[in-house]
Amino acid sequence: MTRATGASTSLLITDVRLYGEGDPVDVRVVDGDIAEIGTGLAGADETVDGGGGVLLPGFVDLHTHLREPGREDTETIETGSAAAALGGYTAVFAMANTDPVADTAVLTDHVWRRGQAVGLVDVHPVGAVTVGLQGTQLAELGAMADGDAHVKMFSDDGKCVHDPLLMRRALEYARGLGVLIAQHAEEPRLTVGAIAHEGPNAARLGLAGWPRSAEESIVARDAILARDAGGRVHICHASTAGTVELLRWAKAQGIAITAEVTPHHLLLDDSRLATYDAVNKVNPPLREDSDCVALRAALAEGVIDCVATDHAPHAEQEKCCEFAAARPGMLGLQTALSVIAATMVADGALDWRGVARVMSERPAAIVGLPDQGRPIAVGEPANLTVVDPDATWTVDASALASRSANTPFDSMTLPARVVATVLRGRVTAIDGEVRAR
């Protein structure tokens, strides 16, 4: 449905409905900014035919694992950036649990520069909260925040900052630096050996249980620590109905707490574990249908602020093995929009303006990105995503841009498709193909 010709400094996106509302319009982009919105526009170096689709601000993912440095066999900044561009993303936050860990400015600056060299999406490094993710000594948060990458968010994701004194100190530094601590909420004493949600399914299947309380006890604790420290805490991958109620309480107290939910926790529940297929193993684990329902309602209502993929590539040998031995994690960048369309848009829980809110505006605001999640208006930066809301497609894990194939959505037919992604006026993906610089 799209036609594109030539390289450009001016770009015309024709026949799109802004946020899926109103009559179709054309959008002219000049030198990276939106210059004109109208009808019958013509004449540009390049034209993208929106085909009557939906124009949204480019998506922002606060939670991505790009595995570089250290596990380039499973993903690289280049392959992960390609998956992001194809998924409609213009900015992603790359988690610190690489090898070596991103706990120094040297490393976070390297990730930032590598992302800029690839040029498909802004790759913002997340700095580690503690040295080596060991949970014992604060990392050089100030140096990372002051470096070229201007690190805005710190997380030990994959591990919880479980020492309450260390978490308190991190929040105090975060307040001073104007940054955010993103917590992987998992009380480790409650999840020793745990590999599946603690409930009837895990009991039937003989899988050691990861109780909801392991997440909820940390969410409650960190809300209180954030209140007293005056720092901002962001809850990674909220997965339980109880977490939703804690967030509701904390927000009502005026505590500076925000939260994300993954597409897979909105759609999938632990009944999928019956096959023992480790593609369904993820941290936190897939919960029960009642949790999915509560998470969807919370996202629609704004109690959960945004969607984040927790894109977690793993090698085949780390997934095609016995459930207990498999690594937790699932791909997410190329399927996120479609899973949100299936879980939230199809039943009217979110309209396309709501999708813009949870996939672009809120995540950009949470980390304070000045040029992302902006209104689609003249003078604004052209970080944009064109979506065909009427398309359906069948996910083929082997055809994804990621270097890994561990998606639970393989062979699923999903609604809505990203047609084109535009980063600062440059087309980075179109009709399922990445556009290298």
Ligand X SMILES: NC(=O)N[C@@H](CC(=O)O)C(=O)O
The distance of closest approach from Cβ of residue 425 to ligand X in the complex, given in angstroms and rounded to an integer, is 33
Based on CB atoms, which residue is closest to ligand X, 182 or 345? 182
Do 169 and 139 form a contact (C-beta atoms < 8 A)? Answer: no
Neighbour count for residue 71 (Cβ, 10 Å): 20
Neighbour count for residue 186 (Cβ, 10 Å): 23
- Report whether 383 belongs to an annotated binding site: no
Tokens, residue 405: 């194939």
Say which of 222, 269, 310, 388 is annotated catalytic. Answer: 310
**Containing H/E element for 354?**
helix 352-356
The distance of closest approach from Cβ of residue 182 to ligand X in the complex, given in angstroms and rounded to an integer, is 11
The distance of closest approach from Cβ of residue 107 to ligand X in the complex, given in angstroms and rounded to an integer, is 16
Q: Please provide residue 411's backbone torsions phi and psi, each rounded to the nearest 5 degrees.
A: 75, 0
User: How far apart, in Å, do the first and last CA atoms of the chain sit?
Assistant: 22
Write out the E strands in 85-201.
Answer: 89-94, 122-125, 153-154, 180-183, 196-197
- Report whether 67 belongs to an annotated binding site: yes
Tokens, residue 283: 């941290």
The distance of closest approach from Cβ of residue 321 to ligand X in the complex, given in angstroms and rounded to an integer, is 15
Active site residue 351: no
Based on CB atoms, which residue is closest to ligand X, 212 or 327? 327
- Report whether 63 belongs to an annotated binding site: yes
Cα dihedral 235, 238, 240, 244 sign = positive
Do 90 and 421 form a contact (C-beta atoms < 8 A)? Answer: yes
Name the one residue in this structure whose structure tokens are 């440095």: 69
- Report whether 65 belongs to an annotated binding site: yes
β-partners of residue 386 are 55, 420
- Report whether 280 belongs to an annotated binding site: no
Based on CB atoms, which residue is closest to ligand X, 63 or 435? 63
**Containing H/E element for 392?**
strand 384-394
**Radius of gyration, alpha carbons of the chain:** 21
Name the one residue in this structure whose structure tokens are 């556009």: 435
Nearest-CA neighbor of 190 among 317, 265, 284, 261?
284
Tokens, residue 148: 């070229």
The distance of closest approach from Cβ of residue 155 to ligand X in the complex, given in angstroms and rounded to an integer, is 10
Based on CB atoms, which residue is closest to ligand X, 314 or 424? 314
The distance of closest approach from Cβ of residue 100 to ligand X in the complex, given in angstroms and rounded to an integer, is 15
Name the one residue in this structure whose structure tokens are 């393989």: 410
* Interacting residues with ligand X (CB under 6 A): 65, 97, 157-158, 184, 282-283, 310, 312, 327-329
Structure-derived torsion over alpha carbons of residues 39, 40, 44, 46, reported in degrees to the nearest 10: 80
The distance of closest approach from Cβ of residue 181 to ligand X in the complex, given in angstroms and rounded to an integer, is 16
Nearest-CA neighbor of 105 among 129, 76, 123, 127?
127
- Report whether 97 belongs to an annotated binding site: yes
Based on CB atoms, which residue is closest to ligand X, 197 or 426? 197
- Report whether 157 belongs to an annotated binding site: yes
Based on CB atoms, which residue is closest to ligand X, 65 or 296? 65
Do 313 and 329 form a contact (C-beta atoms < 8 A)? Answer: yes
Based on CB atoms, which residue is closest to ligand X, 57 or 329? 329
DSSP state of 130: B
Catalytic residues: 310
Annotated binding site for Zn(2+): 63, 65, 157, 184, 237, 310
Please enumerate, by residue number, every residue annotated as part of a binding site. 63, 65-67, 97, 157, 184, 237, 283, 310, 314, 328-329
Q: Which residues are annotated as a binding site for substrate?
A: 65-67, 97, 283, 314, 328-329
